[in-house]
């Protein structure tokens, strides 16, 4: 193996941040780490100029081909910040205040200064035994859709990584509250995690990295509101010797939503990798049909006053195999389930 190929294949490398380290011409002072992911680390920091606390996100050094071809995250975040400050959905999207480069032992790292928020959705779920009340779920769903409408319709951006860990709660007074349940009365939700975002006109070229949230067009390349209702991982694909996770994922979609229309498969550049000439999957396990209505009734806790059929209709407007048949975020905002 050549030196070039070994560097090419190495994993992303984190910036070795330290407490009380000063960055960006001594503007930011690191205080404590918040989170570490596969592609970045996040630190709490003090902005010495403004006196505010911010979250500093350090992108890993990544020499892979995927990283070189990926979108410029600071450019996306700057576009999100400046496009339309008066749109109702902008307040539900993470805003970047600054960005800079910093040199580490393995190369240069991009660092984003971001708004500081209280808690992620998964973290709050743990503290609340995983349940939110119907009114809260509807309010947060509406806020997410407002954020998506801003991204899609005004910014021309597709998030491509919408999942629970990329949803955060914000509340100005959260530190004063005795229990997380109190936040729910005053807090709102924002969309964050734009490392996989792409411009809308190039959405067909990208692939959602997290397989459980990947829409069908990513496989056959015909390109996302589909992801909005996959945040609870409707699909859990696996692989065996005779089939891949992709094969199993497509099979689970068929079991839930029915067969792919022939005209949809005919548009795909990679259809023949997964389907035969009759539109049947080439590989995959034998699965029992699992329609969406059955999944909702088995997995979702319903209160007495809930209308499961209305909720299923809301979901079905998004979870369509053919992209053109899915409702947009703006259309979903008018669905009666949100009333």
Query: Residue 44 CA to chain centroid, in angstroms?
Result: 22
Span 233-280, pLDDT tens digits? 677 788 898 999 888 988 988 998 999 999 989 888 888 999 999 999
- Nearest alpha-carbon partner for 160 in 128, 206, 118: 206
Question: Across residues 78-89, what is the average pLDDT?
Answer: 93
- Nearest alpha-carbon partner for 232 in 331, 298, 305: 298
Tokens 């979609």 belong to residue = 253
Structural domains of the chain sorted by starting position, each given as residue range(s) with its CATH number in brackets: 9-114 (3.30.200.20), 207-332 (1.10.510.10)
pLDDT (0 to 100) of residue 133 = 78
By CB atoms closer than 10 A (0-12, 13-18, 19+), residue 300 is middle
> For the chain, what percentages of helix, strand and coil (3-state, to nearest 5) are there?
40, 20, 45
pLDDT at 172 over 60: no
Instruction: Give the CA angle between residues 28, 15, 169 to the nearest 5°.
Output: 65
DSSP structural state of residue 154: I
What is the average pLDDT value for the chain, to the nearest integer? 81
Tokens 């005779």 belong to residue = 242
DSSP characters for 36-105? E-SSEEEEEEEETTT--EEEEEEEPB--SHHHHHS--HHHHHHHHHHS-TTSTTGGGB--EEEEEEEEET
Span 177-224, pLDDT tens digits? 556 566 677 788 999 988 888 887 766 555 444 555 566 666 554 445
Cα–Cα distances (Å) from 39 to 54, 209, 231, in that order, read 19, 12, 20
Span 178-189, pLDDT tens digits? 565 666 777 889
Beta strand 119-120 with 157-158: parallel, antiparallel or unpaired?
unpaired
Tokens 């975020």 belong to residue = 329
Question: Across residues 146-169, what is the average pLDDT?
Answer: 89
Query: What does the chain come to in residues?
Result: 339
The C-alpha atoms of residue 90 and residue 84 are separated, in whole angstroms, by: 7
Query: Residue 239 CA to chain centroid, in angstroms?
Result: 23
Span 128-140, pLDDT tens digits? 766 677 888 899 9
pLDDT at 36 over 90: no
Most confident of the ranges 159-173, 274-288, 296-310:
274-288
**Which residues does 294 contact at the CB level (< 8 Å), separation at least 6?**
none
pLDDT (0 to 100) of residue 166 = 86
pLDDT at 161 over 70: yes
Tokens standing for residue 119: 């808690």
């Amino acid at each position: 193996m050549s030196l070039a190929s070994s560097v090419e294949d190495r994993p992303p490398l984190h910036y070795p941040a330290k407490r009380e380290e000063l960055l960006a011409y001594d503007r930011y002072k690191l205080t404590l780490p918040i989170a570490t992911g596969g592609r970045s680390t996040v630190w709490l920091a003090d902005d010495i100029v403004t006196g505010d606390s911010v979250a500093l996100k350090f992108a890993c050094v990544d020499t892979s081909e995927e990283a070189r071809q990926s979108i410029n995250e600071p450019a996306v975040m700057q576009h999100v910040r400046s496009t339309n400050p008066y749109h109702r959905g902008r307040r539900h999207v993470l805003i970047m205040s600054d960005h800079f480069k910093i040199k580490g032992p393995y190369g240069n790292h991009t660092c984003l200064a971001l708004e500081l928020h209280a808690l992620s959705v998964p973290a709050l779920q743990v503290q609340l035994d995983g349940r939110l009340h119907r009114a809260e779920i509807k309010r947060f769903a509406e806020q997410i859709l407002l954020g998506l409408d801003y991204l899609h319709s005004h910014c021309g951006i597709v998030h491509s990584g919408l999942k629970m860990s990329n949803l955060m709660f914000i509340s100005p007074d959260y530190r004063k509250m005795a229990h997380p349940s109190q936040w729910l009365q005053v807090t709102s939700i924002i969309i964050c995690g734009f490392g996989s975002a792409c411009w809308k006109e190039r959405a067909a070229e990208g692939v959602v990295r997290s397989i459980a949230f990947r829409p069908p067009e990513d496989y056959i390349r015909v390109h996302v509101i589909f992801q909005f209702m996959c945040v609870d991982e409707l699909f859990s694909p696996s692989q065996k010797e005779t089939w891949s996770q992709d094969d199993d994922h497509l099979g689970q979609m068929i079991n839930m939503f029915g067969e792919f229309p022939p005209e949809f498969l005919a548009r795909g550049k990679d259809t023949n990798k997964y389907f035969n000439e009759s539109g049947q999957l080439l590989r995959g396990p034998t699965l029992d049909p699992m329609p969406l209505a059955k999944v909702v009734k088995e997995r979702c806790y319903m209160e007495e006053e809930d209308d499961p059929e209305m909720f299923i209709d809301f979901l079905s407007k998004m979870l369509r195999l053919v992209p053109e048949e899915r409702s947009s975020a703006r259309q979903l905002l008018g669905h009666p389930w949100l009333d």
